[in-house]
Structure 1
C-alpha cells in the first residue's frame, strides 16, 4: 500500500492547498485510499452510486455535505469525479444537481443551482472500467475548470430550455435529446420514488425526481483540453 500524507478532515484553506492535496492522490487506487481513511469498499456500486464521490470528499476535506452549495463553499469549488477508461474516454454523464419541478417562477440562470455548482469545478478523473473491481480503480491527475463565456452560454441556454419546459408543464416530454451539453433525466433510487410536478393545465401529479446532468461529449472536451495542456 502506498502511504500518503493527507489532511483527512481539515477543510482546505486555499485553492492551491486543495489542488496540491488532490494531486497527491493521483496514481492511488480507491482501495488504498479507502483503507487509509478506514472506509469499507463496496463490492459494486449498484446501490452505492455516490460512494466514490463521498470517498474523495472525505479525503479532500469537503464541507458542504448535502447542502445545495459547492462542495468547498469557502472556495466556491465543486468536486466532481469523472469515470474514464484507460484510453481517457469518458464513460458516463456527470450529475450536477437535483432539478426542482415546482416553485421555479422567478428563478434565473444567475440564481440557479446549476450555475452555482458549475462556477468552478475540481475534476478528478478515475479509471473506472466496468470490469475493474472498485478497489482497483485508479485516481488520475485532477484539474481545475471554470466555464469560459462560450461554455457558460451553452449551459445557460440548455438550462433555460429545460427549465421553461418544466414551468410549462412539459417535464414528461423531456428526454436525452434535449440540451446540447446539459440534459434532464430521472434521478431516483427506484421507480417508487415520486415528487410533485404540474402538467400543462396546472394540475399537480406525481412523477420521478429529475436531475441535471452534463453530457459526455461536453466533459470529454474538458478532459481532452486538460490532457493536451499536460
Structure 2
C-alpha cells in the first residue's frame, strides 16, 4: 500500500500516473492476482486503484482520503464513453434518524469532493487487459447539489414514514435507493408503516448513470 497522499495535487498526480495502464500492469506492481472475472470479486478493481493511490478509509463512512476530504469512485465506461452502471455512494440509514439532515448526511459528505477514475468496463475486454482512464476531481455545482438534496430528502422522508418497502429504483431523479447486500438473506431493522420495527434488506444510495454521464461530459468536453 502506498502512503496516503498529502495534497489534492499529489493524489491527482498519482491518478494521472496510472492512467492508460492495464489492470494486469497495476496488479503486478501491487502483487495482486487478477481474478478471471468480477462475479465474486466485485470490489477488486476499487481495491487495486485504492492501493495505487494510497486510500486509507476502506469501507468506513468517511471519505477514502480522509485527511484531504476526497472520496474515490471508479466508474466503468463503455465504448461510447458512457457509464455502464450506477455508482454506489453509501449505505442508507434506516434507524436512528432523528436530527439527520442533508447537511450532516453521509451522502453529502461522500459527494462533497470526488476523484472519479474511469475504467474500461465492457465485458468482452478481458479483465487483465482493461485500462484505467483519465481522472477528474469534482464537487457538485449548486444545481447538482440541489438535485441530490431533493432526492435524498424525498427518499429519507419515505424511510421515516415507514414506507421503505414502497421505495423502488424508479424513485429519485439523480439519486436512487436500492437493496445493498451480498445476498437476499441479510436483513436489518427499519420502521414499518405502523411505526413498528420491521426486518428488511439493507439499502444503499446510488447515483444514476445519466447523472454521472453528465459529469463526465461536462469535464471531458471542456
Match of 1:154 among 128, 133, 147: 147
Gaps of 5+ in 1: 1-7
Match of 1:76 among 50, 55, 69: 69
1:38 deviates by 0.3
The 1-side partners of 2:137 and 2:207 are apart by 16
- Tell me how many residue pairs correspond in the alignment: 222
**RMSD of aligned C-alpha atoms?**
0.8
1:66 deviates by 2.3
1:30-60, CA deviations, whole angstroms, 9 ceiling, x for partnerless residues? 1110111001111111122111111111110
The 1-side partners of 2:111 and 2:215 are apart by 13
2:33 matched residue in structure 1: 40
Give the TM-score taking structure 1 as reference length: 0.95
CA contact (8 A) 1:105 1:167 kept: no
The 2-side partners of 1:12 and 1:87 are apart by 32
Match of 1:21 among 14, 30, 33: 14
The 2-side partners of 1:31 and 1:55 are apart by 10
4+ runs deviating over 3 angstroms: none
1:5 matched residue in structure 2: none
- Between 211-220 and 189-198, the greater mean CA deviation after superposition: 189-198
1:193 deviates by 0.9
The 1-side partners of 2:162 and 2:131 are apart by 43
1:178 matched residue in structure 2: 171
The 2-side partners of 1:186 and 1:164 are apart by 17
